[in-house]
Structure 1
Amino acid sequence: MTESDTPPLSHVRADGSAHMVDVSHKAETSRTATAQAVLRTRPDVLEMIASGDLPKGDAFAVARVAGIMAAKRTPDLIPLCHPLPLAKATIDFFPDAAAGTVRIEATVSTRGVTGVEMEALTAASVAALALYDMTKAVDKHAVISETKVLAKFGGKSGDWTLKGPA
């Protein structure tokens, strides 16, 4: 694709200034997106997280609520993001002792005129940040990585799933 083939950016006007895209003409449809983030830590810390034995308490419970709250506050955090009436937000955790990781998966749904990818990404990111906060007292070297959209369903552009391993 050449520069002349590149479509114009939807959030930038001809004069270069940012604006919120007008979605008032779009049809309301069911939309769902799933995103992930990964926390990498030591095996002993992973065991503390899984068993709820961290000094700060149950990290999964705190991170789950933080992620759900973040999904609901996405338009307050991401400029030009449309406020959406969320129907569902779930946060699931997939500890992997062999890899020393916890994969956080956020799924967000709505019935609206624009997608919920940003809400899912925000939920996964903030849940990972909350896990990091809960574990930093015992592992200052924990790392958050691999934040990405795994799948989206609904809307004009149709369904999309990340190919290959999540």
Structure 2
Amino acid sequence: MTTFTHINSQGEANMVDVSSKQETVREARAEVIVTMSQKTLEMILSGQHHKGDVFATARIAGIQAAKRTWELIPLCHPLLLSKVEVNLTALPETNQVRIESFCKLTGKTGVEMEALTAASVAALTIYDMCKAIQKDMVIEQVRLLEKCGGKSGHFLAK
């Protein structure tokens, strides 16, 4: 049976000791969907948004967030990421933006939280930049798509 790794024998939260783990290449992909009105999406895609390039800003915010995950999520280790990628895809048929993040490193602990944080903060940045136009956008389906490397092996979402 799998146990919570961030809980010690007294039931207290603690940072996992990874010092004895082997360094391996570790990768993770995550996604988030932002649903908005057709008008909002068209404004983003046409470059007519008064705050500038929404996708470029969201991409940079996601990358920065991945690099600072250890400051945001208690008990996460500071990681030396070798790659962070944030891709935004407009889905005009559903008035959505799909955000997919990818994080990679060679290290002793995984990068799932960094990938999830990157995608989430990119989505929040879209919301922040567009809230003056539309306040009822929906951020949903924050999920891990894939992870590989380390002792637990390969995970691929269904």
TM (normalized to structure 1)?
Answer: 0.92
Which amino acid in the other structure matches residue 145 of structure 1? E
C-alpha RMSD of matched pairs (Å): 1.0
Match of residue 129, structure 1, among 124, 131, 141: 124
Match of residue 153, structure 2, among 138, 148, 158: 158
State the Cα deviation string for residues 26-47 of structure 1 (Å, max 9, x = none): 1101111000111100012111
Larger CA deviation: 47-56 vs 97-106: 47-56
SS in 2 for 1:86: coil
Which amino acid in the other structure matches residue 29 of structure 1? T
Are 1:66 and 2:58 counterparts? Answer: no
Residue matched to 2:81: 86
Are 1:114 and 2:109 counterparts? Answer: yes
Aligned residues: 158
Match of residue 53, structure 1, among 39, 48, 52: 48
CA distance in 2, matches of 1:52, 1:62: 12
SS in 2 for 1:158: coil
SS in 2 for 1:122: helix
CA distance in 2, matches of 1:117, 1:74: 10
Identical-residue share of aligned pairs (%)? 52
Following TM superposition, by how much is the alpha carbon of 1:9 offset from its aligned partner in structure 2, in angstroms? 1.8
CA distance in 2, matches of 1:13, 1:64: 37
State the Cα deviation string for residues 3-22 of structure 1 (Å, max 9, x = none): xxx54321111212111011
Which amino acid in the other structure matches residue 63 of structure 1? A
Are 1:100 and 2:95 counterparts? Answer: yes
CA distance in 1, matches of 2:30, 2:46: 25
Which amino acid in the other structure matches residue 109 of structure 1? K
CA distance in 2, matches of 1:50, 1:32: 30
Match of residue 23, structure 2, among 23, 28, 32: 28
CA distance in 2, matches of 1:151, 1:27: 21
CA distance in 1, matches of 2:5, 2:81: 23
Larger CA deviation: 75-84 vs 47-56: 47-56
SS in 2 for 1:130: helix
State the Cα deviation string for residues 36-82 of structure 1 (Å, max 9, x = none): 11110001211111222112111001100000000000000000001
Which amino acid in the other structure matches residue 133 of structure 1? D
